[in-house]
């Protein structure tokens, strides 16, 4: 084999390896072909092996980084549910529900635009089934995998919401005391207002010290409806 032909082959292999390193493990046309016996030559095989070794560490590392990044991509799915308090938007991964809100624009940690519309996704389908039971008055507790995305403090507040029993309420001050941070009443209110999984993590059960409903992402009418659904005998003060 001439030196020109050998250099050409080495150049082709280096180009293939470079393409793999830049664009991931996709194989370019012609890459990875096994040479026929008449193309093989001990000298060429030795030189090509050397070039493979020189390029291998970089290429394998690039492919590994690509594969790792792809394996860490979390798929998101979304669906909408018509309810007595308006249209609810749900977002889930393959493992858990990550959002239940009235306005998807309010979500800052969930890639809503990349979420695929799929109301038949198992997590979304089960979430909507339990929500329908809740609105029908036949379910008092949700049994769903949840994933809260927020700061440590926010997740602490949202977890505390899950402990408020059906039909009961807590004040912002009581939540702050539960978190052993009684001075953080305002911070609790802010975190409660950013709850990404409404109704299921019942931020509607948190009220003002005087019994006022205060703010709610779905509006005060929706908050009043949810509280009256859970405890019809309670007198509610909207304002």
List active site positions. 203
Report the C-alpha gap between 114 and 185 in whole angstroms: 35
Task: State whether the Cα torsion 6-7-8-10 is positive or negative.
Answer: positive
**Partners of 212 in beta bridges:** 237
Q: At what angle do helices 3-23 and 42-71 cross, to 10 degrees?
A: 10
**The residue to which tokens 């999984």 are assigned:** 197
The strand order across the sheet containing 77-83 reads 97-101, 86-92, 77-83, 116-117
């Amino acid at each position: 084999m001439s030196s020109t032909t050998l250099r050409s082959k080495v150049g082709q292999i280096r180009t293939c390896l470079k393409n793999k390193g830049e664009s991931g493990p996709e194989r370019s046309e012609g890459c990875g072909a096994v040479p026929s016996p008449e193309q093989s030559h001990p000298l060429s095989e030795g030189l090509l092996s050397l070039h493979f070794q020189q390029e291998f560490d970089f290429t394998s590392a690039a492919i590994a980084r690509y594969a790792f990044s792809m394996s860490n991509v979390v798929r998101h799915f979304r669906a909408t549910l018509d309810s007595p308090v308006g249209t609810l938007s749900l977002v889930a991964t393959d493992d858990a529900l990550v959002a239940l809100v009235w306005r998807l624009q309010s979500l800052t940690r969930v890639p809503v635009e990349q979420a695929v519309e799929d109301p038949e996704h198992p997590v979304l389908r089960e979430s909507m089934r339990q929500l329908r039971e809740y609105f029908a008055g036949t379910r008092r507790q949700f049994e769903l995998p949840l994933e809260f995305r927020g700061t440590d403090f926010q997740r602490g507040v949202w977890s505390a919401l899950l402990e408020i029993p059906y039909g009961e309420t807590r004040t912002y001050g009581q939540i702050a005391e539960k978190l052993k941070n009684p001075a953080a009443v305002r911070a609790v209110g802010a975190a409660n207002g950013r709850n990404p999984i409404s109704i299921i993590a019942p931020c509607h059960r948190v009220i003002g010290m005087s019994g006022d409903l205060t703010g709610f992402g779905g509006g005060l009418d929706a908050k009043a409806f949810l509280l009256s659904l859970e405890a019809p005998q309670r007198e509610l003060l909207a304002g």
